Structure 1
């Protein structure tokens, strides 16, 4: 067995995409073991992938600062790895990569294509250009070590168990729609009043809606929607990440921004209707195996204006994501449900 160290510390959606690539990598390379280094709460993304061992990085305690990273690097060498694949390419991961290089270990680093992306959003490159998927960039990091990896870009529907307290609900033969209404960056977020209108229209059609993602503030908002719409359930703070993945695996469709909800749906093979504003799927961040046809967006010469959704996108005085209407989202969901039959 060749043992490869893989580093990707954040963000949630990026780590989920990493898991999709690693799953196919180990399937195609039976002589490989992976030591996946990431933050502890992402471990469930990798738990069902064979020959993958998860190692938690603790950047605020054990692995804090240069000495902590040196300690982590020494710890990783105890696994007697044959190489290191850096799928993050930030200061922490570059330090670890340097340590491995000095220890005469092959290192392959993710090419983030920063210049191409900046050129794209600054209008120096045609807006019609489609950059390679980020998952292909991850795959290139493995290929650069001489390994074969052909990504299928297909969803693999999983038959995950339903959490015990939801079994009665899922046994009633309804249509189940998940919604992840929040995102890390504000310019990715579909306005709350419009998202509530989506919920209201889906509720009127008799669908059961499950809401995902967020902290205390988001929990209050989703619980308010749950009280207002009888067949709407907030999952925030009630389930582990593993259980959330199990629930998403049993949905008929997921609704998400350009955010981790989309990538979690990809991990368990659930189709996702994704809503795009300042960012754009042509930048390469479309969920693994997800269809461009299921992206809800309004094309405009100002889009995209942001790689990560942390910058506004002024489309003739309107924020880009405001160009999307609730009806557009509901119609796209109906299309997906019809194709599922």
Structure 2
């Protein structure tokens, strides 16, 4: 009986939730590019495993809490043929070196993060990224195997983002608007005063409001609920797991969101979105990838010069923060445009 050769590939992306979601086309591209049986493993931090646990094409999800030493010895016995490093930091470099001591020979493919080009864009306004999206950079990592996008298209795959199976609650007669509160950095976080106006406007229009967010947004969700006290307002901020949050967003007719992991989840779920930009910019290559065609992106009103202010949204160079210069009225108007 002829033995079956299995090609084992390890994909590494430790964080964050949005970045892990953005790797999903890479998993499918590996199956499209490599011949024979392909076994894709994925390594991430425990907090973000929900984005890949059960994802089609992933054989096993490995998780760490602090260091790769937690899994290195067991991984060495797997005999990975390739390591696709989509994080490209010291931690992933140490792991790649350790895996070369395991069974067989591991060949590494590491993403070009184009960090210098992003620094040039922030500091000088000189855009050398030429509109290249981070998903394209991830897929370019597989160039030694061929064209990833072409391989996906040959299978009828348009390269969209994907998530593990998400339960969708049947829609009611009233439209539902999900509000993704909070962000990792203040320069990307829609202010609470804006949310108060948005909640009032959505409720006044006769729609249902569903608040989502992590534990850090729990108190804001409680304050918004207490202020409006409406049966049409559902507060899930700080109450839902990631799979439950994905379900809440998938069941919405519109998602209002900043430059966060929830935006990339919304793109994967093909929910029409109103994306609000602050100190970051789509020019950095982190905009919604192949999102629903009705998605609207709102960038700050004047001054346009000197944006983006930072790569991560942790600094703003303007007296009035960029995120404050997207008014609640513009956001509500975009919701109305989508519904019309």
**TM-score normalised to the size of structure 1?**
0.85
Query: What's 2:326 paired with?
Result: 324
User: What's the offset of the Cα at 1:25?
Assistant: 4.5
Q: Of the candidates 308, 313, 322, which is equivalent to residue 309 of structure 1? A: 313
Instruction: Verify the 8 A CA contact 1:156 1:269 in the aligned structure 2.
Output: no
Flag structure 1 segments of 5+ consecutive residues without an equivalent: none
User: What's the offset of the Cα at 1:2?
Assistant: 1.5
Query: What's 1:72 paired with?
Result: 71
Using the alignment, how far apart are the partners of 2:163 and 2:59 within structure 1?
Answer: 23
Tell me the SS of whatever aligns to 2:174.
Answer: coil
Using the alignment, how far apart are the partners of 1:47 and 1:268 within structure 2?
Answer: 16
Coordinate RMSD, CA, aligned? 2.6
Q: Does 1:45 align with 2:47?
A: no
User: What's the offset of the Cα at 1:311?
Assistant: 1.0
Distance 1:21 1:226, change over 3 A: farther
Query: What's 1:191 paired with?
Result: 191
Instruction: Verify the 8 A CA contact 2:43 2:61 in the aligned structure 1.
Output: yes
User: What's the offset of the Cα at 1:262?
Assistant: 0.3
TM alignment of 1:15-94, pairs within 5 A: 15-23=20-28, 25-26=30-31, 31-60=37-66, 64=67, 69-70=68-69, 72-94=71-93
Distance 1:292 1:193, change over 3 A: same
Distance 1:157 1:84, change over 3 A: closer
Deviation string, structure 1 residues 163-218 (Cα, Å, up to 9, x no partner)? xxxx5xx5532111111120010111122101211111111101111111121x52
Q: Of the candidates 288, 294, 297, which is equivalent to residue 295 of structure 1? A: 297
User: What's the offset of the Cα at 1:321?
Assistant: 1.3
Using the alignment, how far apart are the partners of 1:96 and 1:292 within structure 2?
Answer: 42
Using the alignment, how far apart are the partners of 1:46 and 1:304 within structure 2?
Answer: 30
Deviation string, structure 1 residues 190-249 (Cα, Å, up to 9, x no partner)? 22101211111111101111111121x521221222231411111124332112212211
Using the alignment, how far apart are the partners of 1:96 and 1:157 within structure 2?
Answer: 26
Flag structure 2 segments of 5+ consecutive residues without an equivalent: 1-5, 153-157
Distance 1:122 1:136, change over 3 A: same
Instruction: Verify the 8 A CA contact 2:117 2:127 in the aligned structure 1.
Output: no
Using the alignment, how far apart are the partners of 2:259 and 2:224 within structure 1?
Answer: 22
Deviation string, structure 1 residues 49-83 (Cα, Å, up to 9, x no partner)? 323134333344xxx4xxxx356233223222210
Deviation string, structure 1 residues 250-287 (Cα, Å, up to 9, x no partner)? 21121111011101112222222111111001110012
Using the alignment, how far apart are the partners of 1:287 and 1:321 within structure 2?
Answer: 17
* Count, aligned residues: 320
Using the alignment, how far apart are the partners of 1:279 and 1:33 within structure 2?
Answer: 36
TM alignment of 1:1-341, pairs within 5 A: 1-23=6-28, 25-26=30-31, 31-60=37-66, 64=67, 69-70=68-69, 72-101=71-100, 104-123=105-124, 125-126=126-127, 130-144=130-144, 146-150=145-149, 152-154=158-160, 160-162=166-168, 170-215=170-215, 217-227=216-226, 228-230=228-230, 231-290=232-291, 294-298=296-300, 300-314=304-318, 317-338=319-340
Using the alignment, how far apart are the partners of 1:149 and 1:192 within structure 2?
Answer: 41
User: What's the offset of the Cα at 1:124?
Assistant: 5.2
Using the alignment, how far apart are the partners of 1:102 and 1:77 within structure 2?
Answer: 7
Instruction: Verify the 8 A CA contact 2:275 2:295 in the aligned structure 1.
Output: no
Distance 1:28 1:272, change over 3 A: farther
> After alignment, is 262-271 or 202-211 more displaced?
262-271
> After alignment, is 15-24 or 188-197 more displaced?
15-24
Instruction: Verify the 8 A CA contact 2:25 2:162 in the aligned structure 1.
Output: no
Instruction: Verify the 8 A CA contact 1:265 1:272 in the aligned structure 2.
Output: yes
**TM-score normalised to the size of structure 2?**
0.85
